[in-house]
Amino acid sequence: DAGVTQSPTHLIKTRGQQVTLRCSPKSGHDTVSWYQQALGQGPQFIFQYYEEEERQRGNFPDRFSGHQFPNYSSELNVNALLLGDSALYLCASSLALAGWGETQYFGPGTRLLVL
């Protein structure tokens, strides 16, 4: 049973550039959530996708956008990168809308460094 996968594992960008991170959910899952984890902090919720739509969003600017494909995989896009966007980006998948308490399963993350 394949777990949550993310690509790439590491990425280095410069300020002002744009980046796309990818996530494939655990087999059978239809909901994908994205989190940003700064060094030494707990993850912060960015947004959640279900049925190819953004369902909920945390306190992140519009520079952060996403997409979900018919096969439930998802992309996180960040435009106009800032130094403060340097973090570990975690993808989590779950079955149905997580508000019903479905456990979220996390991928290994993508480490983004903005120079």
Q: Which span sits near another protein by CB under 8 A: 16-24, 45-53, 62-70, 76-84?
A: 45-53
21 versus 98: smaller Cβ distance to another protein: 98
11 versus 97: smaller Cβ distance to another protein: 97
Q: How far apart are CA 86 and CA 1, in angstroms?
A: 31
Q: What are the backbone dihedrals phi and psi of residue 91, each rounded to the nearest 5 degrees, phi first?
A: -110, 140
Contact pick of 16, 99, 113, 115 for another protein (by CB under 8 A): 99
Q: Which span sits near another protein by CB under 8 A: 10-18, 21-29, 67-75, 93-101?
A: 93-101
110 versus 114: smaller Cβ distance to another protein: 110
Contact pick of 13, 30, 58, 75 for another protein (by CB under 8 A): 58
The verdict on 2 binding another protein (CB under 8 A) reads no
